[in-house]
Structures are given as structure tokens and as C-alpha cells.
Amino acid sequence: MAETEKTATLTLDGQSYELPVHSPTAGPDVIDIRKLYGQAGVFTYDPGFTSTASCDSTITFIDGGKGELLHRGYPIDQLAEKSNYLEVCYLLLYGELPSAAEMEKFENTITRHTMIHEQMVNFFRGFRRDAHPMATMVGVVGAMAAFYHDSTDISDPRQREIASHRLIAKMPTIAAWAYKYSVGQPFVYPRNDLTYAENFLHMCFAVPAEQYNVDPVLARAMDRIFTLHADHEQNASTSTVRLASSSGANPFACIAAGIACLWGPAHGGANQACLEMLKEIGSVDRIPEFIARAKDKNDPFRLMGFGHRVYKNFDPRAKVMKQSADEVLDLLGVEDNPILQVAKELEKAALEDPYFAEKKLFPNVDFYSGIILEAMGFPTSMFTPIFALSRTVGWVSQWKEQLNDPQMKIGRPRQLYMGETARDYVDIEKR
């Protein structure tokens, strides 16, 4: 907990109460209201908890006004350009960048945990073929607790470590198999000779009938998508994982809860919504019409993938993702894909329009990641599962941190009750 050097005074009905104020290493001060109800008999009201710190953390810091995202103090653009996803996983989990020996050991551990219990194949086959891959992932990840009993005791640090490694290692296999099942193709097993990103692409697109070689440009773009989505502070799904964890639930149940929350279109479905918008536009010649609609305050149409709820200036992840998008489109081309043609021209038109610059509506990470995944051949239904795969390490890191927090209590938000007061029951014949 941050040091308390000053206090805030709350005056209520003529009575004053001194509340501790904590100063973080970065970000605004925080007023500690934990004893407010006991002292003053009142709660605070904060729908969505957008002004409330639910925990203290050392993992990720975001300054939306500055367009800043730090993992353990390292800027996300540096990590995306110079590092790779598994190294960022290590950083999030353990707090520091690994030495060469530590990195080799970690990579080896994750690589050799990628297979899932063979009996879990039956879970996939229990779903309809047209089931959304996110529904499949929620079910399969939650069911892991039934197979990996040696890593469900959250009081055992070693079991927590094993569960962390298993979730990070097996999530690409689960996501890829959810995709394979949805398209009616046989499952492709993980390979230990491939990198994390290569392995995922191989499991998604290889078939037994022929050799599939993963292009290094696509693998690098996939790795960047993973890296840029690894963690994002106390968002809805991360808070869901922490809330589930506060009850003592096993790690697989907590991560399944996070996946379920991420499924919501207001959270993990942003890049899918972006692609659906590009499909709605349909052709390059209709772009001026939709830009005009986006400027019209009376038109409900909004440009998806532009601007960000958190970043009020620019999305620090977007610059690196744009570079990957350009590389992928140069490799695969856009000539035969009208959606990608629209995306390229829409990006150009928006960046050149003073209106969008004034409103700070720049293309964000969802815009570029959606373009990349579309170019690679992923259906939009797989966009959110890939997000869940990427975010698993963030959820796991936050889960581990919370379990080590001596201040952890079971989550119990309060409410502003506006319903009926106590009244007597009336027999049905008298109503």
C-alpha cells in the first residue's frame, strides 16, 4: 500500500471525517474510504466503479490523457518492437525481464505444456458446430479444473505456478481447436519446434493432407497482437477475474469468468465490430458518405476502431500494430479483398481529415488488429477468442498478485437501494 502523507476531510451533517490519501508511484492520489461506513454510516456511489480503485497493483499503468501504457514500467511500444509475447508474459508474471537462462527455461516450460488432456476432446464434440468459439472456450477452460486437480489449491504457491503455466500454454490449443471444430476440420496438435505464435497459426490453418509453413511476417504480426493485448490494467474482464478469485475459486474458473466477460461486445468485441463496420461500408466509393455520417451528431453511426474510451489522445499500441498491418497487407495483398481495400482507404481519409484530428479520433489497436486477422483468414467470430488467448497472461498475473495481497477480501460492492421499503405479504385472494 502506498504511503499515507495527507488526508481529505469529508463534512457530513456538520460532522467532519478525516480520510487517508494514498499517493501512488504514478497516477492520481486515492482517497481511502474503507472506514467511512464505520465512522459516518454512509457508502459512496460510483456506477461502473470508474472513480474507485479496487486494489493496489504493480503490474500495469495507463495514463489515458498521455496515451501511455506501461507493463512493470516498460512502455508498450518498446516491448512490442523489441520484445516478444513470451518475454512479456514472464515480465507480467514475475515483475522483471528475464535473463537468457530464465527465458530459455520459461519458454521450455510453456512449450511443453501446450497439449491438453486427450479426454477433453470430448468436450469440443459436445458443442454444436455452429457454436461461437467463445462459448466453447468458456466451457473448456472452466472444465480444466476437472482434469488438473494438482493445480487447483490456491493456498499452495507451487500449484498456483503450475496453473499459471498451464493456462498460458494451453489457451492457444483451446482457441485453435474451437476454431477447427467450428469449420469441421480435424484438430491439429501443438508442435514443440514452433514458437508460441507459429504454433497457434499452425494449429489454426494446417491440415493433415499437406504441409503448412508459417510465414515469419504473419507469425511476427500474430505475436504483436498477443503482446499488445496482454494486459490492460483493471478493465471489466480483469476485474471479473479478481472478483471471482476473491471468493477462493480455482484458477480455471476465474479465467473462464474473465473469458465470459470479455465476450461482451462493449469489451472484447471491438475489432469484430470494426470489421462489421467495414463490411457495412462495402466499397471504397461509399467512404465519403460514411465519414459524413460520422461527423453528423444526429446520425447514430459511429466509426468503429477510431478513438478509444481510455486513451484520450492516441492509443500507444496503434503505431506498432499499424506497422504490422502494413507488413501483412504488403505480403498478402488487398486486391481481392474489398474489406481490406475499404480499410486502407478509410484509414487514409480519416487521417487526412481535420475533423478527426481535432476530435483525436485516430485509428486504434482494434482497427489494425481487425485488419490483420481478416487478412490472415480468420473469421470475425475468432477475433474475441484470440483476444482472450492474449489476455490470459494478464488475468493470471492479476490473479496471482491478488492472492499474495494481505489486504484481499471477498468482493462485496454496495448499492443505492431505490426499491420498496418493508411491507406485509397479502394473500393471493385479497390482491
Residue with cell 448499492: 415
Which is catalytic among the residues 202, 231, 308, 315? 308
Residue 180 CA, chain-centre distance (Å), reads 22
Cα–Cα distances (Å) from 298 to 293, 301, 346, in that order, read 9, 9, 21
**Catalytic site residue 13?**
no
Query: Is residue 313 a contact partner of residue 65, using CB atoms and an 8 Å limit?
Result: yes
Query: Is residue 170 a contact partner of residue 114, using CB atoms and an 8 Å limit?
Result: yes
Length of the chain (residues)? 431
Which is catalytic among the residues 223, 231, 315, 366? 366
Query: Is residue 212 a contact partner of residue 205, using CB atoms and an 8 Å limit?
Result: yes
Rg of the Cα atoms in the chain? 24
Q: What is the C-alpha to C-alpha distance for residues 353 and 349, in angstroms, rounded to an integer? A: 6
- How many CB atoms are located within 10 Å of the residue 86 CB? 22
Cα–Cα distances (Å) from 224 to 160, 177, 390, in that order, read 27, 21, 10
Residue with cell 512449450: 111
| Buried residues in 393-415 as b, exposed as e (16+ CB within 10 A) | bbbbbbbbbbbeeeeeeeeeeee
**Catalytic site residue 267?**
no
Residue 368 CA, chain-centre distance (Å), reads 16
- 68: phi then psi, degrees, rounded to nearest 5: -120, 135
Q: Which grid coordinates belong to 153?
A: 489449491
Burial of 176 (0-12, 13-18, 19+ CB in 10 A): buried
Q: Which grid coordinates belong to 123?
A: 468436450
Q: What is the C-alpha to C-alpha distance for residues 105 and 207, in angstroms, rounded to an integer? A: 30
Residues marked active site are found at 308, 366
